[in-house]
Chains A and B, each alone.
Chain A
Amino acid sequence: MAEAARSGLDIFRIFDALNNVDQIRPAIEAVLETDVAVAEAALCYTGNMTSPGETLYTLDYYLRLAEQLVEAGAHILAIKDMAGLLRAPAAAKLVTALRSRFDLPVHLHTHDTAGGQLGTLLSAIDAGVDAVDVASAAMAGTTSQVSMSALVAALEGTERDTGLSLDAVTRLEPYFEAMRKLYAPFESGLPGPTGRVYHHEIPGGQLSNLRQQAIALGLGDRFEAIEDMYAAANRILGNIVKVTPSSKVVGDLALALVGRKADPSDFEANPGAYDIPESVIGFLNGDLGDPPGGWPEPFRTKALQGRVTRPVETELSADETAALAANPRQTLNRLLFPGPTRDYEEAVADFSELTVLETREFLHGLRLDEEVEVELVKGKKLLLSVSAIGEPDDRGMRQVVCAVNGQMRTVSIRDHAVKSTVALAERADPSVPGQIPAPFAGVVTLIVEAGDEVTAGQQVATIEAMKMEAAITTSVAGTVKRLAIGHAQAVEGGDLLLVVE
């Protein structure tokens, strides 16, 4: 957070997936420590506050929560209605109560999933809400936020006019509309509003993901089944607040149960008879904290019976601490997302920074004979084109004839749709010291036989590449279990030569 504030982030909206203020407090403190950034503490809204049947997520519940957030030192209170469940009367009631009880401004965030959230915003504004979240109209509606132009127009000339120019707001819309078309492959496929959200309570961000997952499961046309199972899973897990990552727990369970066509009540009674997703076990183990409504028993005890649970926290090592100080950004990437960071760093090594590419080329590549410009840095432009794609060879490689700045160049590209018919050389596993690899490409001559006894450091092969000849030794003592190549053979670096056990 300190690094983000240093990098120009001014407002931090902080929440916890189970509305646990203990989890939020350290983050608020970290923002206060910066002395320049704003701490906006969010209470996650779920359920139906104004319904007489709502016994858990009541106005009292939210006010108790807000009180703790205020005590923790927040500058602003936020209502984070991630599924778009906050109805207009509830908004008025909640905003009025929060503003009369506390001196803090209130910032309202909702999703327009059911289609009526402009009504909620206007009702909250009448009740005095200080700030609201909206999105450019071309990027608004359904699982996203309410349209900015609709809000600005609605308040224009009123005493609560936003001060934004409706003309300016709408002048930006064509850009976002065109931009959105570029990303069509990632559209969630939700054609319009859905009132089903009041039943399943799936957050806007997750709803689009779940629809894609349903298609992958062959349930694209029976999404209701997933919605119903999501609602059932939520009930079984104790009617929890659903927002990343707790929403993922519910979603994972719903997909697992739909996948095996399970009866939710049988699962609830006999969870031991089911494979349970790791995220669900982690949740039940308390990895995310305690849920507001308490733990669902005896389900929880039965579900955890005999399941291995992992320790949830490790210490930051001295090396990591030092790296955080020396190189905070890269170290944070690696600590927060080790796998994706590795993927990213590999992509940069292989392809250089891909941010210089326009999105159309980044997503779809080039059309034949169409020349594209890529500006690497100011004053340095590459002109790239593809003029022909060859037939795949038996390794699935295609020769692609390209041009760089008008000069022809051929690159060899693996077509993943074509199966390679060539047996791949066996690769040595670097974590097994007895698997002796070729240190680099060259011609290797083995000088031991299967069954030979070897000592650590003994030479087992010779490698020759161009003018160099080098000895290959074994780092472990033992018996030569098998030879992986012929006695003299051309190999690539990393190929397995022999195994010592």
Chain B
Amino acid sequence: MFRKILVANRGEIAVRAFRAATELGVGTVAVFPYEDRHAEYRLKADESYQIGDKGHPVRAYLDIDGIVAAARSAEADAIYPGYGFLSENPDLAQACETAGITFIGPRHEVLELTGNKARAIAAAREAGLPTLTGSEPSDDVDTLLAAAADATFPLFVKAVSGGGGRGMRRVDDPAKLRAAITEAMREADAAFGDSRMYLEEAVIRPRHIEVQVLGDATGHVVHLFERDCSVQRRHQKVVEVAPAPNLDPDLRARMCADAVRFATHINYVNAGTVEFLLGEDGRYVFIEMNPRIQVEHTVTEEVTDVDLVSSQIRIAAGETLEQVGLRQEDIHVRGAALQCRVTTEDPSNGFRPDTGRISVYRTPGGAGVRLDGGVVYAGSEVGAHFDSMLTKLTCRGRDLRSAARRAYRALTEFRIRGVSTNIPFLEAVISDADFLDGHATTSFIDERPYLLHHRLPADRGTKLLSYLASVTVNKPNGESRTTVTPRDKLPADDATPPPAGSRQRLLALGPAGFAADLRASRAVAVTDTTFRDAHQSLLATRVRTRDLVKVAPTMARLLPGLFSVEAWGGATYDVALRFLKEDPWARLDELHAAIPNVPLQMLLRGRNTVGYTPYPWR
């Protein structure tokens, strides 16, 4: 076994690797660029070292020489690449080999094969797997356009070195092909330094099914069944489940066997994922192999009880599958698991990744809930440099429905403030009936635009706090000059319903009868203006509804004989909006409910009601 593993990655996958290594009794080393010095994962390792130059954090994680040098100086004897960054780069595997450090992953020759999609598809054909038709790769736009002359649309433009949806475009309209190729090339060139593209037949409304495999150095390969990652947005996975729901057992067996056959064919060692598209007609095709751990490996771990990262380390250290305890016949699926990627992407804003300081970060827990995090905490800053994932929530259950119910509960337990998150969107996705019935395809989100228009969290605590903090700092009305609380001055109250009053007389007599009754009565009728003109004339109309509603029920009980309570109109309407930040209509509703026995009266300008300028006539 290794003495010390350096993880050439950041965030949750770095923490995941540290945990596995620690359980195996292996020391851990983190590397981080200046910009990540406050990230939590750094503290989860036994040692951590800063790499790269300030201002270029991504470059630091992509700097093979720098990382190998860091491993050497930390005396690490293995490097764990995680996903993304250098995880699929054969040059790192090669550099490790040269430096005498173990790369925890497949050999660099295998990475070269899987990293070249055209070669990978050719290998899959050799192994007897069904594949898609496509063009030869090229970095010339016109060559690709010519190749598309007799292709059927829709098709995909894909970067030879692409991944994670980058450098990939779906094209439905031949007229838009050139623009899509150009754009994808630029993106791929920037991201991978390789602008070569190929075209590929598109399967419509497919499911994305992938099979997890593990291979050892003796040529043995096992599969750990499949995951269904159909819920995607722009080819980025959103929610992943294991096992794939409603998958015919025969089909499952064939796909898993194909995955093992492919891995065996290319002498695959360590953990990898063979990805398939499964059409509505039950036909499936190989699309690619991911030669690394995947973000969604958690769901496989939850249903098979196999620790994939630990297995990766042990295999890299030379153990066989047998020694790791992984015989195919002993690997079973139990229950179901579901993973949600909690990100700062704001679905109602085009999934724009939000940035800012996290003010509140509370996470769920309890039975069947697993969190893989390690970057953020309350007070940390989410910058624009990296992936917007905050944490992964994985929930287990007897079946997909119970796992989803648990995940929904866990999502509602999150309290993340300071940045937008996709949590309300995830809640909508995993409570969708089709999703729960196992009918999600890769078009699931595109076909349900309403999923993006969920209710935003009210977040009243944060909002009220920022108001109060602002008033506390700025003191727009100076210091408070009284400590008296009006409520304490209310007469002892019996809280009985108010007795019938003059409003009941109005309801009984009607407006004309009510006026005639007033004229006939000897008693002087009394209108109370305290709720309107009195405070308009003394306190610039600033009395808030809250302070009126507090006393209103007592008034209704003590003075049912009032002719009316003047409570609305005049300046109350605009002052409510302008200064009190109240809806004047809410004031009317609340007072009406609190004083059901005395007529409410308002002051109205004939020309412009409660306004000051002329308004359009109806």
Query: Within 8 Å CB of A308, what residues of B?
Result: none
Query: Within 8 Å CB of A312, what residues of B?
Result: 614
Residue of B nearest to A164 (CB): B561
Cα distance, A25 to B607, chains bound together (Å): 9
Give the segment of B152-160, B398-406, B474-482 that binds chain A: B474-482
Question: Is the CB–CB distance between B503 and A467 below 8 Å?
Answer: no
Known A-B contacts: A14-B606, A350-B463. Give 4 more (CB < 8 A).
A105-B518, A132-B526, A134-B526, A359-B544
Top-3 shortest CB links A-B: A8-B592, A365-B472, A10-B599
Question: Is A103 interfacial (CB 8 A cutoff)?
Answer: yes
Give the segment of B85-93, B202-210, B532-540 that binds chain A: B532-540
Query: Within 8 Å CB of B359, what residues of A?
Result: 409-411
- Give the contacts of A329-357 with B (CB-CB under 8 A): 329, 333, 335-337, 340-341, 343-344, 347-348, 350-357
Residue of A nearest to B546 (CB): A355
Question: Is B449 interfacial (CB 8 A cutoff)?
Answer: no
Question: Is A244 interfacial (CB 8 A cutoff)?
Answer: yes
Question: Is the CB–CB distance between A75 and B524 below 8 Å?
Answer: no
Give the segment of A50-58, A135-143, A422-430 that binds chain B: A135-143
- Nearest Cβ on chain B to A163's Cβ, whole angstroms: 5
Interface of B is mostly: mixed
Q: Mark B506-540, 1 if CB is under 8 A from A, else 0.
A: 11001110110011011111111110011111111
Greatest chain A CB density within 10 A among B357, B484, B511 is at: B511
Question: Is the CB–CB distance between B551 and A171 below 8 Å?
Answer: no
Contact pick for A11, options B477, B534, B601, CB 8 Å: B601
- Nearest Cβ on chain B to A312's Cβ, whole angstroms: 5
Cα distance, A204 to B164, chains bound together (Å): 71
Given A130-B521, A187-B539, A209-B540, CB of A329 within 8 Å of CB of B534:
no
Question: Is the CB–CB distance between B581 and A364 below 8 Å?
Answer: no
Given A130-B519, A131-B525, A160-B522, CB of A363 within 8 Å of CB of B471:
yes
- Nearest Cβ on chain A to B462's Cβ, whole angstroms: 8
Residue of A nearest to B471 (CB): A365
Question: Is the CB–CB distance between B360 and A409 below 8 Å?
Answer: yes
Question: Is the CB–CB distance between A440 and B352 below 8 Å?
Answer: yes
**Cross-chain pairs A/B with CB under 8 angstroms, 19 sampled:** A27-B609, A107-B525, A135-B528, A145-B533, A175-B550, A188-B537, A205-B537, A288-B607, A343-B578, A343-B581, A350-B466, A360-B482, A364-B478, A365-B475, A382-B461, A402-B469, A404-B461, A405-B461, A442-B384
Query: Within 8 Å CB of B472, what residues of A?
Result: 364-366, 386, 389, 400
Residue of B nearest to A41 (CB): B606
Interface of A is mostly: mixed
Question: Is the CB–CB distance between B602 and A11 below 8 Å?
Answer: yes
Contact pick for A175, options B353, B466, B489, CB 8 Å: B489
Question: Is the CB–CB distance between B605 and A413 below 8 Å?
Answer: no
Question: Is the CB–CB distance between B485 and A4 below 8 Å?
Answer: no
- Nearest Cβ on chain A to B612's Cβ, whole angstroms: 5
Query: Within 8 Å CB of B377, what residues of A?
Result: none
Cα distance, A169 to B534, chains bound together (Å): 16
Cα distance, A174 to B486, chains bound together (Å): 8
Question: Is A384 interfacial (CB 8 A cutoff)?
Answer: yes
Given A139-B530, A336-B610, A465-B384, CB of A10 within 8 Å of CB of B522:
no
Question: Is A183 interfacial (CB 8 A cutoff)?
Answer: yes
Cα distance, A163 to B524, chains bound together (Å): 8
Q: Mark A368-405, 1 if CB is under 8 A from B, else 0.
A: 00000010100000101010010000000010101011
Question: Is the CB–CB distance between B578 and A340 below 8 Å?
Answer: yes
Q: Mark B156-192, 1 if CB is under 8 A from A, else 0.
A: 0000000011100000000000000001001100100
Given A313-B614, A364-B478, CB of A340 within 8 Å of CB of B577:
yes
Query: Within 8 Å CB of A148, what residues of B?
Result: 526, 528
Question: Is the CB–CB distance between A364 and B582 below 8 Å?
Answer: no
Question: Is the CB–CB distance between A205 and B616 below 8 Å?
Answer: no
Q: Mark A148-189, 1 if CB is under 8 A from B, else 0.
A: 100110010001111111001101101111111111111110
Cα distance, A350 to B519, chains bound together (Å): 51
